[in-house]
Amino acid sequence: MKKKEKNFIEQNGINVIKPKDPTYPTSIHKVRKKLPTIYHMGQLFDYDNGIAVVGTRRNSENGQLFAQNIGKLLSKNNYKVVSGLATGIDTFAHSGCLENNGLAIAILAWFHELSPKPNKELLEKIVKTGCALSENLFAPTKEPKYAFLKRDDIIAALSDAVVVVETRSKGGAKYTADIAKRKKIPVIISKINNNDTELQDGFDVLEQEGALVAKDEDDIIEIIKSLPKSDNHQIDSFL
């Protein structure tokens, strides 16, 4: 390990977790043939009962309220809120969870020079009781955009279900939903009133691809409770 990396780890209280360590999030095997070293910040090492909440960065006002409400409801029902700390839906879902004193898991593309920078304060709140995880300490020098896709893989892998709150037909939230579908992780959506045809198209595409449709936030909780319990320790689930 380079001195720069070692100093950054020590200065920021980051844990280095290897695949054979007992605190390693084993469900990552769903999306990685070769398990990576994970960098971990925070107090939480129990990754069970995680529900992803993802969505667009350019959300509607109703989408914001929905994300905040589902974050609160998930924490109230003892689920951890897993998301990517991005601007928009991710931020509102994490915030709603914390408002209800819930546990949040933030999956980051990298730790150094956090993206987006305004969410540094939110990250600090999350790791007081929850945690943040990443495969990277620093932004990759080549093709850093792929680090966000790898982040989205892990969001899906650590979740018993993926709730999509407003998405367009392309983008990070849609990618996460696609990964979840491929790994047989349930995807849940709910119709949200907005005047954005692109967001409506995103909903229609996910519905056509077999996402479970909930009537509202409470119905999402009922759907999650009705799902069969996943076994994150089945190594062959990568296939």
pLDDT in tens, 195-213: 899 999 999 999 999 999 9
Average pLDDT of the chain, as a whole number: 93
Return all residues near 127 (Cβ < 8 A) that are at least 6 apart. Answer: 41, 42, 43, 106
Of 69, 89, 100, residue with least CA distance to 168: 89
> What's the pLDDT band for 46 if we cut at 50, 70, 90?
very high
221 within 8 A of 77, measured Cβ to Cβ: yes
Helix, strand, coil % over all residues of the chain, rounded to 5: 45, 15, 40
Q: Which residues contact 207 (CB under 8 A, 6 or more apart)?
A: 189, 213
Q: Yes or no: say if 207 and 190 are a contact pair by the CB < 8 Å rule.
A: no
User: Who has greater pLDDT, 235 or 57?
Assistant: 57
User: 13: pLDDT confidence band, cut at 50, 70 and 90?
Assistant: very high
According to the model, what pLDDT value does residue 183 have?
96
Q: Could you confirm whether domain 38-228 is CATH 3.90.1170.50? A: no
